[in-house]
Structure 1
Amino acid sequence: MFKHNKAIFISDAICLVLLMLFLFCLPTKLFKSPTSYVIEASNGNLLSASIASDGQWRFPLADSVPVKFKDCIIAFEDKRFYSHFGVDFIAMSRAMKQNFKAKGIVSGGSTLTMQIIRLSRQKNRTVWQKFLEIILAFRLEIRYSKEEIIGLYAANAPFGSNVVGLEAASWRYYGRNAKTLSWGEMATLAVLPNSPSLVHPGKNAVRLIKKRNDLLDKLVQLKYIDQTTANLSKLEPIPGKPIALPQDAPHLLNRFKVERLALKVNSTRITTTLNQDIQLKVNSILTRYNNRYRANDINNIAALVLDARTGEVVSYVGNIYQPENAALESHVDMIKAPRSPGSTLKPFLYASMLTDGFLLPHTLVPDVPTQISGYAPQNYDLGYDGAIAADKALSRSLNVPAVKMLQQYKYQRFYDKLKKMGIGTLNQPADHYGLSLILGGSEVTMWDLANTYMGMVRTLDHFNTYKGLYNAHDYDQANYIKPKQKPEKDEQLNSYIDHGSIWATFNAMEEVMRPGDEGLWEQFSSSQRVAWKTGTSFGFRDAWAVGLTPNYVVCVWVGNADGEGRPGLVGIEAAAPVLFDIFRLLPNGKWFETPKSKLKKIKVCKQSGYKAGDYCTDVTEELVPFGGEKTVVCPFHKLIHLDRTGKYRVTDQCESVSNMQHKNWFILPPAMEYYYKIKNSDYKDLPPFMAGCDANGSTNIMELIYPKNDAVVYIPLELDGTRGKIVLNVAHRNPRSKIFWHIDGEFIATTINYHQLAVSPPPGKHTLTLVDENGERLVQVFTVLDKKKKSDEF
């Protein structure tokens, strides 16, 4: 009895071991070979692909297999596929008889399931291996469904040369998605795994055609197709040499390779958010402009289109891909490359100052020669307006007003805001950039720039959606892969820039142009409203154009990947035409709604753009952002006292108060006035003081335009080697006045009307004293550098 029980126990144990071996004999992952990186458009069509690391074209496992391929491969390889459990004993016995008669292997009798096992194991074909294939085929049938099994076969079967899998074969031999192949094309591919060497340009064509036609006849017998379809399919040509796969988004493909793990994507294939039609058309537009610009040795161009409604990438062209010419560096993804942004950050400053109560939309800002600690910004046209409305300074992209505005706002505050809004390339402390931050003194990427503008668009778009609140996720980066789920709303009372300020900024950006380039505007006019901004980096190295509507943000960059500057490489001439050609591809939509509940109607001085004070003569009501309530009242309108004739200014020391006229007057500081009245003929000069009146305590009479107080200047050598001169420039309220010039207490000259003087003082610190004919004095200090110190200071 004991021996009997022991035998039962041993047999049960053996059975259990065999069962465990059977259950765990199949690897968790059958195929471990590397796969190609593949990106598809939102409609599922192939955009770009790269060869796998082992040199094979092997696409990742597809979600489904075309019905035509299923029918063809089952008819050709395993007609009882859906009725057996991994092994077709009928086919196997028939194969054994054929092999015995032929005294060699002429038929294997393997099912598709067994072939998958063989492909995954890559072992020599022996009787023992055949037995293992049978066992593993049974196990495979238990784990996977029939549809999954045929999917594994379609993805891993060899199709000749270095092509593995149906999808890779379809693109390499026919240049199309497998789902679009005809019966003749699909039958051709179905016979290849059995004889992959048949695909060879110029060879084996007759054999391949015969095998295909035999399969088509078999499909007729099995009633998959009719005879007419088979006859027409036999007339189709077989593939010649392999076709190059599409490379319509190669830079996004490379980006996906780098970011795949961070994105937590398991497969090397993704369906992107890109619109294939727009992507192809943007590629075409950029290629056309690139061909034109290369005549000027401008070799690279890139464009990014974002859908503000969904936060998704619509088009991604990191460069015009020209791998045949390595010198062009077309492999560099300029969407990710840090570059100088030129003037493209100016709208962020304007919007920030509106939000934080530093100015109103039309507030006058200074536009005069400026030198700040050796830094001397200049406008693109090298001219000055004296004073200009902030929105006009933005639309004309004037540099000096932008620097003056940043000086007022503080570059440290602006630096912090840019980082919060998504500019991720500010790797140095704020002091490293200083005031040059607003003129392109930092680096940004197209990706960050476009995403930051999209954050502003989304904020304004969602004004009604969130009932006046803000969603922190509006500034999230765009997705180029469809997210599995939308981020939850994170509603907040405040944002980096408020609704009203964004609305005012976009209004100003609708009028963007540059002095001297107004004629180009007509080339860009279109039926849809677009807010846009151009930018040009120092040395003509980068040309930018950024445009936006409620639905889209478009960013264009033109230049050379190696940083070489080229004449004519400016935003409005090189990038803006591309921008508007792209916008013509995009559907129109309504303009932004006015966020009335986030705007406040206040009285504004029409002449200065400031909040109206008691002395403003022309007052209007305007809708301004809430921050406008914190702005100062107009500093340029003042009450002055005139004699009874109205010709002279007076004080109570020389005129009875009862005889005075009291008038409100628009008075700019002398340096601003000097340039302002050149372009504004209606500007009224202050009347002179009546003889004998004491002007002490009155508005400043003189202002030194250059050099500013405590300025450091350098006097260069002329071409002939002699020491040059610096031109001192002063503004006086009375254009007919006479000024006496003194340097270090020594009289040097007298000027009348036109107050400029060329001098060549020696290196060192100097005191400049100016005295007008009425005894008004202006004393300032400047330092002249020695030639040897130039390289240390500049």
Structure 2
Amino acid sequence: MYRLIRYIKRNRIKSLVIFVLLVAYYFCLPKQLFKDPTATVITSQSNELLGALIAEDGQWRFPESDSIPGKFKTCILQFEDEYFYKHPGFNPVSIFKALKDNWSSGSVKRGGSTITQQVIRLSRKGQSRTYLEKIKEIILATRLEFRLSKDEILNLYASHAPFGGNVVGIDAASWRYFNRSAHNLSWAESATLAVLPNAPSLIYPGKNQKRLLDKRNRLLKKLYENGTIDELTYDLSIAEGLPQKPYPLPQIAPHLLQKVAKIHKGKRIKTTVKSSLQEQANFIVKQHYNQLKQNEIYNISVLVLDINTREVLTYIGNSPTDRTHQRSVDIIDKPRSTGSILKPFLYASMLDAGDLLPNTLVADVPTQFGSYQPENFNQSYDGAVHANEALSRSLNVPAVRMLQGFGLDRFYHYLKQLQLKDLKYNANHYGLSLVLGGAESNLWDLCKSYAAMASTLNHFNDNSSQYYTKEFIQPIYNSESKINFGKLTNEKTVFDAASIYLTFESMNQVNRPESDESWEFYDSSQEIAWKTGTSFGFRDAWAIGTTKDYVVGVWVGNADGEGRPGLVGVQTAAPILFDVFDVLPKSDWFAKPYDEMLEVSICKKSGYRASSICDDTELQHIQKSGQKTAPCPFHQLVHLDASERFQVNSSCEAVSRIKNTSWFVLPPLQAYYFQNKNPFYKPLPPYRNDCVESSGISMEFIYPNQQSTIFLPKDFDGNTNDLVLKVAHSKPELELYWYVDSKYIGTTKDIHDMAVLPSEGEHMITVVDEMGNELKHKITISE
């Protein structure tokens, strides 16, 4: 050290020059050698190529790889630089031989460049190949050797070497010329690619095939002679042909590629997609697309999620349609009318809030709320139907009546907790049609919500009856992302586990959703909680199902919103749903969350908690919040005579001879429709003629009263005016049900006025209150 200091003092100028040169040498190499744009590349969870988007400059240039395939590495070293791992960045022997050959021939016959020098030359685009440039390359090459390891330099070369046309790098070249990963190339294929960077123009189809073949075979012979490959491998390798034309790159998940490119443009992203499942689902979608397009239905999207990891396993943004029908549009995240797909959320909300039990009877009768009149898909009514059956059959009228009773704002609050981003307006904007497709959502959010519900139930059973705070988290498609479910807590996130379980139990019932037509399926080999939906005007068909481990979501329709006859969830989306479930691993059914449930006595007929007079009960597990529901309102004690054919009371029968019997009684309008589909339903027996009824309820017509013949006037346009019927009731708060000639025409409450337009002739007007009291009046209409 002392001698060095003395030398510097004696040779200050020389030392300064040396110092400047060293500093210049240190900084002569740019921090980033290559700034070329790269293709966006996505791979599966097992690193299989799913698709690539060409770089901005029109080159197929993949992002730099971390490793080089062994066969290609051997070939490129044998062909380009045998002493790569021994020289300091340049090979003096090779340079001397190149100078000697070029001097004797009077032209450039060989270059003598090492792979490190070629990396420098590739990074210095457009530089003339002069001896001065060669000296610069040598200097920069030695500097590169100090910065990077030999393997890193080799990776740079393999990633940026030209392979003919617009193909750059070994990864892109292997797919373009051999339609497979570079790690799966044969010796002959690896040798072909190894000789190409030296003369990339040889690869053009139909040109220079003989020269390319000779160069490849010479390299193969060298490999054979140095013992790298055996004789059999050599013979088989030279017998292989050359690539004749470039292959298109795989496009197994093109819409996921578009999604990735928006955030990670020019990057290589390892996704969570399972390639085998993605390809199977692609095949399923293609089969159904070929059938559906005959009915001018052109677009399909499918999403499959792993519930336990919340990873996207399959992402199909659209069917393999054409540009005219928006092939490039990714429909998974596009808002579409929800149809009935939100009904399970309403059912779960009412269970969670304690407003409903799983089998509670709900009304299914003609209903009108102002100008809004919902109808069932088959335009028929059951009168009364168990809530779980109404869900599994996707009945519209019970759903709207349930929503009206539960409260629009309360349901909307639950939906907002699910973080459905397309719910952009307030509850009143959607009204009661919210549960029938009045709102929009997207396949991503809906699948996320179903997955979160399933995961909530799984975690509750797996973690000593506790919940995670972040169950309703976004799914992931980037394998580097990690799911954080938050902390364990005793408080539910949105729905309690019991409400979710009971909802899934209802969705698991194999009933005919929405229609009795075209139902020759689905006897699935595994239990699936699933729901279909169809939007107004047959524009959107949905099917979403969940098992303990997987959620599958399907949307079918036209991207431009055109409706088509037959575009119904159960007919178009459900078959795809079950075909996809068939290729997924089988799952067990959800475990029952006993810690969130109570065992109570339930009235079998009504589904309510059994009252003391319910005659047919059973023990059922219900959600804890359900214990606050009212007892059965449909059973009442009826006093009968000994024959049980007539009602009696103390005015006509001795008390000791009166038989007290529990009777299942529905409100008149519900009973009217219920008994048509339930022949065992027995209406209340009439009072015996000698008995005095003492119901304490009375009603009478205000108009028409004594008149038997009514003349209907006409207005100035010649149209006949309505007849306004009016009734006074001792309890006006009761609901009245109106009939003309046994045909139901509507209900009134508080103010009992009903406008009708009967035809000319005799008619029977019948009014029945909700207590079963009946009033009849015969009129004659004359014009």
Structure 1 and Structure 2 fold alike (TM over 0.5): yes
1:372 paired residue number: 369
Amino acid at match of 1:219: L
Relative to structure 2, which stretch is displaced further, 161-170 or 338-347?
338-347
From 68, 72, 82, the counterpart of 1:69: 72
Relative to 1, partners in 2 of residues 1:724 and 1:509: Cα closer, same or farther, differing over 3 Å? Answer: farther
Distance 1:40 1:424 in 2: 29
Relative to 1, partners in 2 of residues 1:164 and 1:741: Cα closer, same or farther, differing over 3 Å? Answer: closer
**Residue 616 (str. 1) matches residue 614 (str. 2):** yes
From 582, 586, 589, the counterpart of 1:588: 586
1:196 paired residue number: 200
Q: TM-score, normalised by structure 1?
A: 0.86
Q: Tell me if the contact between 2:461 and 2:591 (Cα under 8 Å) persists in the aligned partners.
A: no
From 667, 670, 673, the counterpart of 2:671: 673
From 446, 450, 455, the counterpart of 1:453: 450
1:309 paired residue number: 308
Query: By how many angstroms is 1:141 displaced?
Result: 0.9
Relative to structure 2, which stretch is displaced further, 233-242 or 97-106?
97-106
SS of the residue corresponding to residue 473 of structure 1 reads coil
1:281 paired residue number: 280
Q: Tell me if the contact between 1:422 and 1:451 (Cα under 8 Å) persists in the aligned partners.
A: no
Distance 2:774 2:158 in 1: 94
2:119 paired residue number: 116
Query: What aligned pairs does 1:638-717 form with structure 2 within 5 A after superposition?
Result: 638-642=636-640, 646-649=644-647, 660-689=658-687, 693=692, 695-697=694-696
1:296 paired residue number: 295
2:550 paired residue number: 552
Distance 2:277 2:641 in 1: 71
**Residue 241 (str. 1) matches residue 245 (str. 2):** yes
1:187 paired residue number: 191
SS of the residue corresponding to residue 441 of structure 2 reads coil
2:749 paired residue number: none
Deviations 1:394-413 (A, max 9, x none): 01100001111111222222
Relative to 1, partners in 2 of residues 1:772 and 1:305: Cα closer, same or farther, differing over 3 Å? Answer: closer
Distance 2:434 2:6 in 1: 92
Relative to 1, partners in 2 of residues 1:430 and 1:754: Cα closer, same or farther, differing over 3 Å? Answer: closer
Distance 1:597 1:702 in 2: 54
Distance 1:670 1:319 in 2: 50
Distance 1:490 1:572 in 2: 39
Q: Tell me if the contact between 2:470 and 2:493 (Cα under 8 Å) persists in the aligned partners.
A: no
1:264 paired residue number: none
SS of the residue corresponding to residue 315 of structure 2 reads strand
1:415 paired residue number: 412
Query: By how many angstroms is 1:465 displaced?
Result: 2.0
Query: By how many angstroms is 1:300 displaced?
Result: 1.1
Query: By how many angstroms is 1:513 displaced?
Result: 3.5
**Residue 260 (str. 1) matches residue 260 (str. 2):** no
1:318 paired residue number: 317
Amino acid at match of 1:318: G
Distance 1:727 1:116 in 2: 95
2:169 paired residue number: 165
Query: By how many angstroms is 1:426 displaced?
Result: 0.7
Query: By how many angstroms is 1:469 displaced?
Result: 0.5
Relative to 1, partners in 2 of residues 1:566 and 1:4: Cα closer, same or farther, differing over 3 Å? Answer: closer
SS of the residue corresponding to residue 462 of structure 1 reads helix
Gaps of 5+ in 1: 262-266, 704-720, 732-739, 743-749, 763-767, 780-794
Query: By how many angstroms is 1:225 displaced?
Result: 2.1
1:524 paired residue number: 522
Distance 1:682 1:620 in 2: 20
From 141, 147, 153, the counterpart of 2:145: 141
SS of the residue corresponding to residue 463 of structure 1 reads helix
Amino acid at match of 1:679: K
SS of the residue corresponding to residue 524 of structure 1 reads coil
2:461 paired residue number: 464
From 111, 125, 129, the counterpart of 1:125: 129
2:714 paired residue number: none
Relative to 1, partners in 2 of residues 1:346 and 1:724: Cα closer, same or farther, differing over 3 Å? Answer: farther
Relative to 1, partners in 2 of residues 1:620 and 1:229: Cα closer, same or farther, differing over 3 Å? Answer: closer
Query: What aligned pairs does 1:226-237 form with structure 2 within 5 A after superposition?
Result: 226-237=230-241
Q: TM-score, normalised by structure 2?
A: 0.87
Amino acid at match of 1:347: P
Q: Tell me if the contact between 1:41 and 1:274 (Cα under 8 Å) persists in the aligned partners.
A: yes
Query: What aligned pairs does 1:45-56 form with structure 2 within 5 A after superposition?
Result: 45-56=48-59
Identity level (%): 47
Query: What aligned pairs does 1:410-559 form with structure 2 within 5 A after superposition?
Result: 410-487=407-484, 489-493=486-490, 494-514=492-512, 517-518=515-516, 520-559=518-557
Distance 1:741 1:531 in 2: 38
Q: Tell me if the contact between 1:506 and 1:531 (Cα under 8 Å) persists in the aligned partners.
A: yes
Gaps of 5+ in 2: 702-716, 728-735, 747-753, 759-763, 778-783
Distance 1:110 1:20 in 2: 26
Amino acid at match of 1:453: Y
Query: By how many angstroms is 1:292 displaced?
Result: 0.9
2:31 paired residue number: 28
SS of the residue corresponding to residue 97 of structure 2 reads helix
Aligned Cα root-mean-square deviation (Å) = 3.2
Distance 1:563 1:754 in 2: 39
From 210, 213, 222, the counterpart of 1:209: 213
Query: By how many angstroms is 1:15 displaced?
Result: 3.1
2:751 paired residue number: none
From 378, 381, 400, the counterpart of 1:381: 378
Distance 2:71 2:599 in 1: 68
1:406 paired residue number: 403
1:787 paired residue number: none
Distance 1:387 1:229 in 2: 77
1:602 paired residue number: 600
Deviations 1:700-740 (A, max 9, x none): 9999xxxxxxxxxxxxxxxxx99699999999xxxxxxxx9
Query: What aligned pairs does 1:728-743 form with structure 2 within 5 A after superposition?
Result: none
Relative to structure 2, which stretch is displaced further, 207-216 or 218-227?
218-227
Deviations 1:319-359 (A, max 9, x none): 1234xx31121111121121112111111111111111011
Deviations 1:241-261 (A, max 9, x none): 111111111011001112338
Query: By how many angstroms is 1:386 displaced?
Result: 0.9
Relative to 1, partners in 2 of residues 1:777 and 1:27: Cα closer, same or farther, differing over 3 Å? Answer: farther
Amino acid at match of 1:412: D
SS of the residue corresponding to residue 601 of structure 1 reads strand
Relative to 1, partners in 2 of residues 1:640 and 1:701: Cα closer, same or farther, differing over 3 Å? Answer: farther
From 329, 332, 335, the counterpart of 2:326: 329
Relative to 1, partners in 2 of residues 1:82 and 1:418: Cα closer, same or farther, differing over 3 Å? Answer: same
